Amino acid sequence: MSQKKSNDDGLEKAAIGCWKIVVFLMTLCFYGAKKLEWKSLWFWYKQLVLVCAVYVFVYHKDYSFYNGFSFVFGNPLPFWFKLFFGMPLVNQLWTLVGLFWVGSLCYLGFEENRRYKTFQKAIDRSGLKTAIGEVPKVKKIIPTGEHRSKVIVETFGVGVGKFEAQKDSLTAGFRQTVESINLAEDKGKVEIYLCEKDLPKFVGFHELYSHVKEPYSFIIGQSMKGPVVQPIRSLPHLLISGATGGGKSVFFRSTMLSLLKSSPHLQLYLLDLKRGVEVKEFAELPNVRTAKDEVEATNILGALVKEMNRRYKILEKNGRKSIDPKRDKLDLIVVGIDEAAALFGKKSNELARQHIGELSRLARAAGIHLVPSTQKPVKEAISTETLDNLPGRMTFRMISAAASNVAMGGNLAKKLPAIKGRAMWTNGSDHEQVQAPYIDDETMNVELQVIKDEFENNERSNFQNMLKIEEDQEDLDAMTEGPSDES
């Protein structure tokens, strides 16, 4: 009696064990099946090749593979082998395909399961938890494109801000770049966007310029999502900032070149208070004026304000809201200022500050756009009001979180890797890490010569003459008499 009971117990345990194995394999297969790319043609092609290969293998069972088995498993072959080859051909075929499928799905499921566990571990280790110790849980990993995925995490009340604060630990834990963290539609979950690829450490000007399709556009750089090109008219002003040596001047020059190349009717005013060294090659072009000292720069800004007022009158007269170069036969004007702090940082230069404030507020509709560049956009250099009117920000690496905050409204520029040309691109409230394009002096000169030749051969022309720059005596007096201490 007791013998029978222990036999029954043994059978029951074996049945439960088998069931557990089946459930485990089914779970693995389920995860594996989620990973399969059912819709890809390549997937079905591989299935076809597999069926053909199995068919050939079984059909030619006395061919070398079969003999190979007796070499491996010994002669006579084990019972399961005989069992298999004792079956009709079609059954053999299906058995092999079935085994292959279960094996592949289990393997994929195993890999996927491991991925879930790695991601969960990364979250556990980042220290994210609620006040009562609940740790956010990985719910789903969804591929969103090549090298990209989205991890959906149940938060149990841990806010997106806390996830953002742990971005570095999560990047290290996931071993992938965390591109962004958003609140999911279901408010109890967050979505963490990951990318397996890293940004390139270098990207050439021409590699990116081929993506400029619209007129009056320039290249921002290479982002994780691809090349970023920006039409200046929809920006409308751009602030370039970052610590010394990050790549501001290179970006400033590449931006001016992109604009020159892409814009059919453009006037460029370049103010470079480093005695014009960064912009001297541009001075040769008929649609470019450069200024290399304070007085010249202030006079140019004064002329631009006058032109802006004149254009506003034209708009008023025609009942229009903004200038369209083609329609109104007026050139688009871009004002580039390298080392803006050297111009606006001087207490004496109140007039230049006033002009730039006015332009940043109103010039957009008049088809005049500003591109100032500075190491630190402190209020002594650029007023807070002017800063508010510069929505496009290209911020290279900053040495302090405070400087990064002033420049782009967050500490992301402080966290940038120490790679030349690496910057945060901010348009409104969107931030994106980019690698800015590099252009060397020689290539720049060749490009500028092409544009110069186009003007000489009448292949290019402007609607207007360049602005008349008048010396403002009052302005001159103020600058020569007033204190000139730099902030």
Return residues touching ligand ATP (CB under 6 A): 202, 242, 244-250, 375, 396, 420-421, 436, 438
Distance of CA 253 to the CA centre of its chain: 21
**Contact (CB, 8 A) for 221 and 214:** no
Among ligand ATP, Mg ion, none, partner that 438 touches (CB below 5 to 8 angstroms by kind): ligand ATP
Q: Which stretch binds Mg ion (CB under 5 A): 230-238, 246-254, 354-362, 409-417?
A: 246-254
Least separation in angstroms between residue 328's CB and Mg ion is 35
Instruction: Output 323 or 448, the one with its CB closest to ligand ATP.
Output: 448
Instruction: Output 235 or 243, the one with its CB closest to ligand ATP.
Output: 243
Partnered with residue 229 across adjacent β-strands are 219
Among Mg ion, ligand ATP, none, partner that 119 touches (CB below 5 to 8 angstroms by kind): none
Angstrom distance (rounded) from CA 282 to CA 439: 14
Among Mg ion, ligand ATP, none, partner that 244 touches (CB below 5 to 8 angstroms by kind): ligand ATP
Q: Is 84 exposed, middle or buried (0-12, 13-18, 19+ CB in 10 A)?
A: middle
Partnered with residue 182 across adjacent β-strands are 191
**Binding status of residue 374 toward Mg ion by CB under 5 A:** no
Instruction: Output 96 or 394, the one with its CB closest to ligand ATP.
Output: 394
At residue 316's C-alpha, the angle toward residues 310 and 317, to 5°, is: 90
Residues in the chain: 487
**Contact (CB, 8 A) for 240 and 226:** no
Among ligand ATP, Mg ion, none, partner that 292 touches (CB below 5 to 8 angstroms by kind): none
Least separation in angstroms between residue 295's CB and Mg ion is 21
Angstrom distance (rounded) from CA 119 to CA 101: 27
Least separation in angstroms between residue 245's CB and ligand ATP is 5
Q: Which stretch binds Mg ion (CB under 5 A): 245-253, 354-362, 448-456, 468-476?
A: 245-253
Among Mg ion, ligand ATP, none, partner that 247 touches (CB below 5 to 8 angstroms by kind): ligand ATP
**Contact (CB, 8 A) for 380 and 328:** no
Q: Which of 122, 133, 121, 127 is nearest to 157 (CA)?
A: 133
Instruction: Output 236 or 246, the one with its CB closest to ligand ATP.
Output: 246
Among ligand ATP, Mg ion, none, partner that 202 touches (CB below 5 to 8 angstroms by kind): ligand ATP
Angstrom distance (rounded) from CA 307 to CA 99: 79
Least separation in angstroms between residue 350's CB and Mg ion is 25
For residue 4, give every residue at least 6 positions away whose Cβ sits within 8 Å of its Cβ, in sequence order, or none. Answer: none
Least separation in angstroms between residue 242's CB and ligand ATP is 6
Binding mask 411-450 for Mg ion (x = CB under 5 A): ----------------------------------------
Instruction: Output 112 or 272, the one with its CB closest to Mg ion.
Output: 272
By Cβ distance, which residue is nearest to ligand ATP? 421
Instruction: Output 216 or 438, the one with its CB closest to ligand ATP.
Output: 438
Least separation in angstroms between residue 249's CB and Mg ion is 3
Partnered with residue 154 across adjacent β-strands are 137, 189
Instruction: Output 221 or 227, the one with its CB closest to Mg ion.
Output: 221
**Binding status of residue 375 toward Mg ion by CB under 5 A:** no
Q: Which stretch binds Mg ion (CB under 5 A): 165-173, 174-182, 247-255, 407-415?
A: 247-255
Bridge pairing between strands 392-396 and 238-241? parallel
Least separation in angstroms between residue 336's CB and ligand ATP is 13
**Binding status of residue 249 toward Mg ion by CB under 5 A:** yes
Among ligand ATP, Mg ion, none, partner that 421 touches (CB below 5 to 8 angstroms by kind): ligand ATP
Least separation in angstroms between residue 375's CB and ligand ATP is 5
Least separation in angstroms between residue 247's CB and Mg ion is 8
Instruction: Output 149 or 255, the one with its CB closest to ligand ATP.
Output: 255
Instruction: Output 440 or 477, the one with its CB closest to ligand ATP.
Output: 440
Among ligand ATP, Mg ion, none, partner that 250 touches (CB below 5 to 8 angstroms by kind): ligand ATP
Q: Which stretch binds Mg ion (CB under 5 A): 17-25, 248-256, 315-323, 420-428?
A: 248-256
User: 427 is written with which tokens?
Assistant: 């348009």
Instruction: Output 32 or 247, the one with its CB closest to ligand ATP.
Output: 247
Name the residues that contact Mg ion, by CB under 5 A.
248-249
